[in-house]
Amino acid sequence: MTTRRLRAQETRQAEPGRAARRWRLGALLATVAILAIGAGVGLAGTWVAVERGAGFGAVRVGPWTAFPRNGSLEADPYSRAIVAKSGGLPLGLGEGLSFTASRDSEGRPLIGSCTYRVVGRVPQTRFWTLTLETPGGALVPNPARRYGFTSAEIVRDGRGVFTVTVAPDVQPGNWLPVREGRFELVMRLYDTPLSGTSTVIDPGRMPQILQDRCR
């Protein structure tokens, strides 16, 4: 048998082994790619949840959103990460309920170049506060050093309805100054029957956020 024939025979005998090795390598690379994609999607989802404050168990009332179990041992991992990122201390289940709004009642983002009216009443509660904060949870700095109102100091009309004007320019009455950029409104209800147990709240029991004009 010639050398050429021997080499051809050896090549034919080696082909099945080479094909099997190529198949195993391809399967390994496909598995690694699938795992990498899954990990990337999971990390991206976690990042979005933490950045947007989108934990589980949300209670939404119009533009307002609350997470009653953030201050309990039953808080989900996303909610715990959100609290850790903000550095804030959530209200416990027996203390009250904190609502946050990053959009107005029409669904438009709250921005400092616009003027808004926060109008209405609040659910039954012993005491409440309304503060103006950055998306990161810090108070919005302003020359007037006015960062919010409490239920004890806010001015109401004869029907018990209050109006808070959020605007970059000085306004009469209950005025909260705001600067350029995104902001959030945070309403904290202390010692309220809603604490930690309510999943449905009548939208009429929370104030509306109405945009008046923008620069």
- Note the pLDDT tens digit of each residue in 22-72: 767 676 677 766 766 755 544 444 333 444 444 556 788 899 998 876 654
Judge if 5 and 94 occupy the same domain: no
Q: Is the same domain home to 67 and 31? A: no
101 and 188, same structural domain?
yes
Residues 8 and 78 in one domain: no
Are 81 and 48 found together in one domain?
A: no
CATH code of residue 136: 2.60.120.600
Count of residues making up the chain: 215
72 and 92 in contact (C-beta within 8 Å)? Answer: yes
* The pLDDT value given to residue 162: 96
pLDDT of residue 6: 53
Q: Would you state the pLDDT for residue 205?
A: 83
Residues 37 and 129 in one domain: no
pLDDT for res 3 = 59
CA pair distance 20, 15, nearest whole angstrom: 9
Q: What angle do CA 193, 195, 199 make, to 5 degrees?
A: 100
Query: How many domains, in total, are found in the chain?
Result: 2
Same domain, 115 and 172: yes
Write down the pLDDT at residue 167. Answer: 96
- pLDDT of 124: 87
> What pLDDT is recorded for position 102?
96
Domain boundary among 52, 67, 88: 52
Structure tokens that stand for 202 in this block: 């009548």
The pLDDT of residue 97 is: 86
| 78 in the same domain as 19 | no
- Domain containing residue 2: 1-52
Q: Are residues 68 and 108 in the same domain?
A: yes
In terms of domains, do 187 and 104 share one?
A: yes
| Of 62, 76, 100, 79, residue with least CA distance to 184 | 100
Q: Which residues of 176-194 are buried (b: 16+ CB within 10 A; e: fewer)?
A: bbbeeeebbbbbbbbebeb
**Low-confidence residues of the chain, pLDDT below 70?**
1-21, 23, 25, 27-28, 32-33, 35-36, 38-57, 69-94, 194-201, 203
| CA count, 13 A, side-chain hemisphere, 81 | 16
From residue 202, how far is each of 5, 147, 175, 207 by CA, in Å? 88, 27, 26, 11
Say if residue 170 is in the same domain as residue 83: yes
Same domain flag for 71 and 39 = no
